[in-house]
């Protein structure tokens, strides 16, 4: 398992002290007010009050684990949705990788009634990395819900901060992560469409998926990419020493589109995917032909100094994704943490915890706003078929407004003059 240090950093291996649970401090607001002009236009909150509900999703039948055993599997989901009225303000209780518990103030009402609308709400699925938790990107869930989506974020069982004991066994949940990311995303969509509270308000035939890191690894598969592990990769990333076992694991991993046999088995509901710093391309763990045959537009977001997923690996995924409308948004001087919410105060106690939240050269709140803008543009364009949103995706080259022949170019659509520095967009 020594190669897996690439996933969590050397700090994970050095972290060896078991920490006692701490008392939860008062809920904290992680965001400060900024003038609207310094943020991209689609990062502005939508017209809907946002409700939030925690639900369970259970696989209807037992599933195979990495060892081939039949097991029951269930997920905890945090679901944001347009609400008809405000109710009790929600909080999100999570813990850092070292087990420090913290509480976040939400901009959503717990269990508020869902708003009735002339048409049903599309569904967006959000999938965290290894490790994480379902509210790691709560800002995206709340934001998209305020614009008329039902958004379900997953606690991937075996793969959350709470599940993984970094002090004693930091990679215990990684085999499950490899196996289950994509099929968890598919289960989540199906669960929302059948849930008593949501089923009459959602249009599950219109859906998008958002994945960060290992969630992005899953999202690429969900929309048609097929895994292509060889025996060595299967052994390396699951800690298996026995060649015969590695071969069996390889066969278990090499599936497509939520655990199916073929990339042609993609659910037609998926209309767009946002892959934030997706893992797997640096090891070329996807079949190139299946990537070429992806029909769903994929927006890849990558820091050009990503030291976990590798910028060249993310570029490889983009360059081999065949779907028209796919794009690569490069964030200059960013590493891997392009998606999480800002660090809670509890994370500042150690580099180990802080290192899973902050970016060395970027203000995280600005990164969150950029994600809100492009996520909404992507989903509005391809899930809701709003042509004006598509225009906000059709930006090219550098955002720096570098003068040409002494004349400064106009800013990117959706950005104010001088406020889009550090971005670059490539398209198909």
Interacting residues of 148 by C-beta distance below 8 A, sequence separation 6+: 46, 48, 82, 117, 121, 122, 384
Evaluate whether 308 touches 336 at the Cβ level (below 8 Å): yes
Place of tokens 């720096």: 400
Spatial CA neighbour of 144 closest among 78, 66, 72: 78
pLDDT greater than 60 at residue 9: no
Which tokens belong to 165? 């004991």
Share of the chain above pLDDT 70, in %: 94
Q: What is the pLDDT of residues 410-426, one digit of tens each?
A: 999 999 999 999 999 99
- Predicted confidence at residue 23, as pLDDT, reads 59
Place of tokens 């405000």: 86
Rounded to 10 deg, the angle between the 214-222 and 174-194 helix axes is 60
DSSP, res 123: E
What value does the CA radius of gyration of the chain take, rounded to a whole number of Å?
Answer: 20
- Predicted confidence at residue 397, as pLDDT, reads 96
**Which residue segments constitute the domains of the chain, with CATH numbers given?**
26-427 (3.40.50.1820)
Q: What is the pLDDT of residues 310-354, one digit of tens each?
A: 999 999 999 999 999 999 999 999 999 999 999 999 999 999 999
Sheet of 49-58: strand order equals 89-95, 101-110, 49-58, 74-83, 150-155, 121-127, 202-212, 270-276, 298-303, 327-331, 423-427, 397-398
pLDDT greater than 70 at residue 22: no
First to last CA, the chain: 37
Strand pairing category for 89-95 and 101-110:
antiparallel
Q: What is the pLDDT of residues 282-296, one digit of tens each?
A: 999 999 999 999 999
d(CA 29, CA 52): 17
- Predicted confidence at residue 33, as pLDDT, reads 92
b/e map 21-33, b = 16+ CB within 10 Å: eeeeeebeebeee
Task: Write down the mean pLDDT value for the chain.
Answer: 93
Cis status, amide bond into 335, omega within 30 of 0: no
- Predicted confidence at residue 25, as pLDDT, reads 72
Strand ranges for 156-240 from DSSP E: 202-212
Whether the CA torsion 181, 186, 122, 379 is positive or negative: it is positive
pTM to 2 decimals? 0.94
Largest CA distance in the chain: 67
- Predicted confidence at residue 24, as pLDDT, reads 63
- Predicted confidence at residue 264, as pLDDT, reads 87
* Range 389-411 average pLDDT: 95
Whether the CA torsion 377, 378, 383, 385 is positive or negative: it is positive
């Amino acid at each position: 398992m020594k190669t897996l240090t690439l996933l969590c950093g050397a700090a994970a291996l050095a972290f060896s002290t078991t920490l006692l649970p701490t008392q939860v401090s008062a809920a904290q607001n992680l965001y400060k007010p900024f003038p609207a002009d310094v943020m991209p236009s689609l990062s502005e909150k939508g017209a809907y009050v946002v409700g939030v509900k925690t639900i369970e999703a259970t696989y209807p039948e037992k599933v195979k684990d990495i060892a081939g055993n039949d097991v029951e599997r269930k997920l905890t989901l945090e679901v944001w949705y347009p609400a008809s009225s405000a109710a009790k303000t929600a909080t999100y209780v999570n813990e850092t990788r070292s087990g420090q518990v913290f509480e976040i103030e939400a901009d959503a009402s717990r269990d508020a009634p869902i708003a009735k609308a002339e048409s049903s709400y599309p569904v967006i699925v959000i999938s965290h990395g290894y490790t994480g938790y379902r509210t790691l990107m709560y800002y995206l869930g709340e934001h998209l819900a305020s614009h008329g989506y039902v958004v379900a974020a997953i606690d991937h069982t075996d793969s959350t901060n709470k599940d993984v004991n970094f002090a004693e066994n930091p990679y215990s949940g990684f085999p499950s992560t490899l196996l289950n990311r994509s099929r968890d995303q598919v289960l989540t969509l199906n669960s929302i469409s059948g849930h008593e509270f949501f089923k009459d308000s959602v249009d599950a035939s219109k859906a998008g998926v958002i994945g960060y890191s290992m969630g992005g690894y899953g999202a690429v598969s969900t929309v048609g990419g097929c895994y292509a592990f060889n025996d060595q990769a299967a052994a390396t990333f699951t800690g298996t020493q026995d060649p015969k076992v590695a071969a069996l694991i390889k066969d278990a991993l090499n599936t497509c589109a939520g655990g199916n046999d073929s990339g042609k088995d993609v659910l037609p509901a998926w209309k767009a995917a946002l892959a934030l710093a997706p893992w797997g391309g640096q090891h070329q763990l996807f079949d190139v032909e299946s990537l070429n045959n992806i029909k769903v537009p994929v927006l890849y977001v990558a820091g050009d100094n990503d030291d976990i997923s590798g910028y060249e690996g993310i570029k490889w995924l983009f360059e081999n994704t065949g779907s028209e409308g796919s794009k690569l948004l490069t964030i200059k001087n960013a590493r891997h943490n392009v998606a999480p919410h800002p660090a809670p105060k509890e994370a500042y106690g150690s580099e180990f915890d802080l290192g899973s939240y902050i970016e060395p050269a970027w203000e995280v709140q600005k990164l969150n706003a950029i994600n809100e803008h492009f996520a909404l543009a992507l989903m509005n364009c391809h899930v809701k078929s709003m042509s004006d949103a598509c225009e906000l995706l059709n930006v090219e080259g550098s955002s720096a407004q570098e003068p040409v022949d002494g004349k400064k170019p106009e800013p990117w659509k959706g950005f104010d003059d001088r406020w889009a520095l550090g971005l670059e967009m490539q398209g198909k």
